[in-house]
Amino acid sequence: MLPSSFQAVRALATTRVLEASDLADTLAVLRRDPVANAFVATRVEAVGLDPWRLGGEMWGWYDERGELDALCYAGANLVLVDAGPQAVQAFAERARRQGRRCSSIVGPAEATAALWALLERSWGPAREVRAHQPLLATAVPSAEIAPDPLVRRVRRSEIETLMPACVAMFTEEVGVSPLAGDGGLLYQARVAELISTGRSFARFTEDGQVVFKAEVGAVTEGACQIQGVWVDPAHRGRGLSETGMAAVLDIALREVAPVVSLYVNDYNLRARAAYRRVGFREVGAFMSVLF
């Protein structure tokens, strides 16, 4: 069902695939909310709008004045950016015509719920819908939790040690293994990229086992986003997620971006409480539709 503010809206103006000449206007839209738009902004700031390099098309919605006012990234994920009711309707019509090519829809909760209500009949059923995922952020180090001094950047030589933890986290979080399909080649390449750019963090035991890990997945000038937080099940309940997150937060604020964010499933009460103790506060909500 459409959220009330998105009901009885007729799609106005137009959408089109954005090109290199639209980059400045695209960045202006993305920078309206650096925290919520970090994922898409990271990609655009790094490679521009060329679909091949971007990993998908960037759709733009133009209002009645002919100004770019909303975006939709259409790649492995379908992600709305600053989309109001008319833009959602227009993007839904374009997505319906094109057919589903993505493995998930992710974005601000209300707009994403409206988009899914319009697409479910033609794109459904979804494997899982996570309707409310609190978006958390902070601009200050933890005042309550001391950073774990053993959490550090992962070295390139440690990728084989880290990979089982990454696979376990992904499978636990998403519900499918990242090794399916291509045998994990793309996933391993992404893990290697995060390590090589200094955005993969972990705590290792003396015998080299990973007990905590997290990555800074999205990075822009205004904000960065932590992802892939995982604690070895044998070590859970010992506060490692709190001290580990405090350590990653401290490094990220000093060396990466002025605001650090992440989003979490609303049913994961333990994680939400841990992030709250570290100092994160809710600033919005996402929604994910998984196929």
Is a pLDDT exceeding 60 seen at residue 210?
A: yes
Structure tokens belonging to residue 256: 């990466």
Burial of 236 (0-12, 13-18, 19+ CB in 10 A): middle
The CATH number given to 4-125 is 3.40.630.30
- Cα–Cα distance measured from residue 163 to residue 160, given in angstroms and rounded to the nearest whole number: 5
Domain map (residue ranges) of the chain: 4-125, 152-283
Strand-pair category, 224-231 with 260-263: parallel
Is a pLDDT exceeding 80 seen at residue 4?
A: no
Q: Which residue shows structure tokens 């909760």?
A: 109
Note the pLDDT of residue 279: 98
Note the pLDDT of residue 13: 64
The C-alpha angle 253, 45, 194, rounded to 5 degrees, equals 55
Instruction: List pLDDT tens digits, range 100-159.
Output: 999 999 999 999 999 999 999 999 899 999 999 999 999 999 999 999 999 999 999 999
Q: Cβ contacts of residue 238 below 8 Å, gap of 6+?
A: none
Query: Is there a contact between 260 and 224 (Cβ–Cβ < 8 Å)?
Result: yes
- Cα–Cα distance measured from residue 282 to residue 160, given in angstroms and rounded to the nearest whole number: 35
Instruction: List pLDDT tens digits, range 236-260.
Output: 999 999 999 999 999 999 999 999 9
pLDDT more than 70, % of the chain? 96
- Homologous superfamily of domain range 152-283: Gcn5-related N-acetyltransferase (GNAT) (3.40.630.30)
pTM value is 0.90
- Cα–Cα distance measured from residue 236 to residue 13, given in angstroms and rounded to the nearest whole number: 52
Instruction: Work out the pLDDT band at 12, boundaries 50, 70, 90.
Output: low
Note the pLDDT of residue 80: 98
Note the pLDDT of residue 58: 99
Instruction: Work out the pLDDT band at 182, boundaries 50, 70, 90.
Output: confident
Indicate if 152-283 has the same CATH topology as 4-125. yes
- Cα–Cα distance measured from residue 259 to residue 271, given in angstroms and rounded to the nearest whole number: 20
